[in-house]
Amino acid sequence: MSDVEPQAPLERTVAEMRQGRWPGWIWGVPIAAVAIVLWLTVREISLSGVTATVTYEGAAGIKEGSTDVRYRGVKVGKVSKLSLSPDGSHVVVKLDIERGASHFLRTGTRFYLQGAHPSLTNPDSLKALITGPTIQMIPGGGAPARTFQGIVGAAPASLGIAVEYRVQIAGEVGGLEVGSPVVLSGFKVGEVSSVDLSVDAQAGTISTSALIALDPRRFHLMGGPASSSDWPRILNEALAALIRHDLRARLTKSPPILGSPEIELARVEGSPAATLQQVDGYYQIPSVEQGGVGRVIEEAQNLPLEQIGDNVRAITASIRSLAASPQLKASIGHLDAALASLDRTLNQAGPKVAPTLDSVRKTVQALRHTAQNLDQAAQAARQVMGTSPAAPDGSLEPALLHLSEAARSIRVLADYLDEHPESLLRGRR
């Protein structure tokens, strides 16, 4: 038998796995990341704005994500995408407008690309060299819209609401451009939104089609609208009534001749009957040819200046021929002789007329002296009589009256001769 005692079998250690109620802490990181992504997504969806499409002739410095859209100096959106039109003739700009400003996207709303062309003549545009261009939004009235035609240029500072109308202008437009004022009775009520050339090959006419934006608040119409969307209807009704009373649009300049072109709304008496009609999606205001000084200049340009010049030259030749004619020279000789004879007659009569006038003056002085003596004699006789009404025979008082009348008559004669000395030669008229 062996002395080694057998060992007892060892007990095995058994590991047990217990599953907790929550996963391990390591899973908290991806779960938090997913939660953050979901929160950002929901926030982005809730804060995302409305997309509007604006077409410009060129990009002119517009950049995706950095070019802002502003209204009254407040940022209301930004450029989200920039692309070319299918035919490559325009630039299509996608705008992300905040939901709080989405109700401004209506027919007639305009988007001005401000600072696209910086110039030293416009200091306000120089800041675009650093910050880049800005799109300024001017709300309009009408139905909700999402597609617009952009305008390159500075936005008006005072035009808050804009309702667009079309005006067809005949003849040369000259310097009419975007931003030119539209006036009514001297007050600015709007501005020009766009100017385009219009050619009708069948009719053989060339005209200019201009879109004008009118601010209905500047018309001070009776009975304001219940909401901003009612402005187009109210302004349409007012313009339709005014057009029936000869309101027309015409091209003028302010100041006349030297001023900048503008469109004037004015009553033109005797203009053909017209109405406010809708053409190509815009109501069209009937127009007439330019008036005022511009009309005068246009008529002056149509004067037959060549014919007038020929007539002036013919009249000048006739005067030259008349001046060189022997008959005119003989008539001038006869006139000169007649004037010389008249001069001699006056020289001969002069010495005789002077003594005559001197005699008249002496006669006038003698008559006034006589009248004075008669007055003194009558006064002395009345003093001698005292309070007695008459002489003993009753004939002195009538004699004194006749004496006073004679003195008065002599004075009248002296005054007349003093004023009309020639009556001694010609007699009284």
DSSP 172-205: --TT--TT-EEEETTEEEEEEEEEEEEEETTTTE
The domain boundary residue, chosen from 127, 155, 183: 155
Kindly state whether residue 166 falls inside one of the protein's structural domains.
yes
The domain boundary residue, chosen from 140, 155, 170: 155
Total of domains in the chain: 3
**Of the candidates 185, 190, 181, which has an alpha carbon nearest to the alpha carbon of residue 140?**
190
Query: Do 140 and 64 share a structural domain?
Result: yes
**Of the candidates 229, 218, 236, which has an alpha carbon nearest to the alpha carbon of residue 283?**
236
Question: What pLDDT is recorded for position 299?
Answer: 52
The domain boundary residue, chosen from 91, 121, 155: 155
Query: Do 208 and 148 share a structural domain?
Result: no
Kindly state whether residue 14 falls inside one of the protein's structural domains.
no
Question: What pLDDT is recorded for position 285?
Answer: 92
Query: Do 297 and 208 share a structural domain?
Result: yes
Query: Do 270 and 189 share a structural domain?
Result: yes
Query: Do 123 and 50 share a structural domain?
Result: yes
Query: Distance between the two ends of the chain, CA-based, in angstroms?
Result: 204
Kindly state whether residue 288 falls inside one of the protein's structural domains.
yes
Phi-psi region of 386 (alpha: psi -120 to 50; beta: other; left: phi over 0): left
Angle formed by the axes of helices 326-385 and 396-419, nearest 10°: 160
Kindly state whether residue 33 falls inside one of the protein's structural domains.
no
Query: Do 164 and 143 share a structural domain?
Result: no
Domain encompassing residue 78: 44-155
Question: What pLDDT is recorded for position 115?
Answer: 77
pLDDT tens-place values along the chain, 429 residues long? 455 566 656 566 665 666 555 555 666 677 777 888 887 776 666 556 789 999 988 887 888 888 899 888 889 999 999 899 888 888 999 999 988 888 888 877 888 888 776 665 555 556 666 767 888 888 876 678 889 888 887 776 666 677 889 898 876 666 787 778 899 988 889 888 878 877 778 877 777 888 888 888 888 887 666 566 678 888 889 999 999 999 998 888 877 766 778 889 999 888 888 999 888 778 999 988 765 445 555 555 556 767 777 777 877 777 777 667 676 667 667 666 766 765 666 566 555 555 566 666 777 677 677 767 666 666 666 665 554 544 444 555 666 666 677 667 777 777 776 777 666 555 555
Question: What pLDDT is recorded for position 423?
Answer: 66
